[in-house]
Amino acid sequence: MKILITGGAGFIGSHLSHRLVDEGHRVTVFDNLSTGLKSNIADLIGTENFTFVEGTILDEPTVIQVMKDKDLVIHLAASVGVKLIMDEPLKSIINNLTGTENVLKIANKNKIKTIIASTSEVYGKNSKVPFSESDDRIMGPTQKTRWSYAESKALDEFIALAYYHEESLPVVITRFFNVIGPKQRSEYGMVVPRFISKALRGQDIEIYGDGNQSRCFSYIDDVVEALVRLINCDKAVGEVINVGCDREISINELADMVIKLTESKSKVTHIDPEKVYGEHFEDMQIRKPDLKKIKNLVNWSPSTTIDLSIKSIIESGDLAA
């Protein structure tokens, strides 16, 4: 297939690009390199089945050009990371909404199958766990900037589903849960590479809040495998699908595990998250996916445990920071 990956020089996109090229697909990566890195795909540039185009999804004429003759679009380009969202909310909202609308509008002209990357953030503060794709969403107040990202990605989903129902555009929506692995950058607020970077330097590991909040971390190779299976699943079209791991760990436990696996002498400290993100920040206590739908659709479940994920990141030496 001829496949376009927007945001393909980023963390998830670069891993996916390598997998699809290895499988013999002709892959074009379209990325503005604002958070992605050209070094993530450097070994692919110049090879027969790979093309890199630098540009933004906000530039409609360029999007039209890169989508020409494609069989599939995997739309990963978006503003990412809590810190970036808190620092630049307006830019992030426009990038997510306008960029996704451009991709879907152009894909619709030739009915190009499109996979839209969404996020577990859309579940908001819902305390019913695990999160099922049809569960209600509970958002914080608009004064809390943190929720702007969740709302923009939820609107991306609404737009995609509207194109599916009204225009018969084949779309698949994937909600990612805390994906981790080599090449993930720490400076945008990603907790695992931040903890590992601090531990390897022997610096204090700062936990924002009391650390009792829990997350389910998904290893990048598992997530890429899920995406590859969904690409070829006709029954996934028109669906919203959780992609993640359903084994939870508290942030306190995560910090202790990182210190142990890095054999670090780092100490753990707790700080008020408002000192980092400002008064417009708000956190959720737990994020855990219900994975029944993806298991039924493509017989997929995550296989990499959190300790093995952390070991792989440490051994790779590639935190892209």
* Residue among 74, 36, 68 nearest 174 (CA): 74
> Which residue in 123, 149, 164, 208 is the catalytic one?
149
- Note whether 182 and 312 are within 8 A (CB): yes
- Note whether 214 and 286 are within 8 A (CB): yes
- Cβ neighbours for 46, distance < 8 A, ≥ 6 positions apart: none
User: Rounded to whole angstroms, how far apart are CA atoms 230 and 16?
Assistant: 13
User: Rounded to whole angstroms, how far apart are CA atoms 5 and 133?
Assistant: 24
Say whether 149 is catalytic.
yes
- Note whether 55 and 33 are within 8 A (CB): no
- Amino acid identity of residue 213, one-letter, is Q
Instruction: Count the neighbouring beta carbons within 10 Å of the beta carbon of residue 279.
Output: 10
- Note whether 57 and 31 are within 8 A (CB): no
Three-state helix/strand/coil letters over 230-243 = HHCCHHHCCCEEEE
138 forms beta bridges with 124
Q: Catalytic residue numbers?
A: 149
